Amino acid sequence: RKEVEQDPGPFNVPEGATVAFNCTYSNSASQSFFWYRQDCRKEPKLLMSVYSSGNEDGRFTAQLNRASQYISLLIRDSKLSDSATYLCVVGVGSNTGKLIFGQGTTLQVKP
């Protein structure tokens, strides 16, 4: 079983649509959770951290369910510029800064 599992997609949606990505992780000792965004042939960049109570940043909402070891990202009112690969990322175990990345989910927003 992969340590961080995501549906690779691609998700093809029209502008203005709402789209949700899911992610599961296997290590119950995981401490920190993030969504990173990676544009084609570019480096990953932090989109948002994910907190236990859930958090929102503009059109983006992240949720964490520790019991189910499940993380989600909701994007409302999709823009063309949201087209990218979204990486689910988990900080594991002891304080070593070790992040485990999912394979990523590709989003393509169409006009």
Partner 1 sequence: ETGVTQTPRHLVMGMTNKKSLKCEQHLGHNAMYWYKQSAKKPLELMFVYSLEERVENNSVPSRFSPECPNSSHLFLHLHTLQPEDSALYLCASSQWGQRSSYNEQFFGPGTRLTVL
Contact set with partner 1 (CB under 8 A): 2, 4, 31-32, 34, 42-46, 49, 87, 91, 95-104
d(CA 15, CA 108): 10
Give Cβ neighbours of residue 41 (< 8 Å, ≥ 6 apart): none
Neighbours of 63 (CB within 10 A): 19
Residue whose tokens read 């992969």? 2
Closer by beta carbon to partner 1, 4 or else 64: 4
Closer by beta carbon to partner 1, 19 or else 87: 87
Please state the closest distance from residue 59 (CB atom) to partner 1, in A.
20
Residue whose tokens read 């990486």? 87
Closer by beta carbon to partner 1, 14 or else 43: 43
Please state the closest distance from residue 63 (CB atom) to partner 1, in A.
18
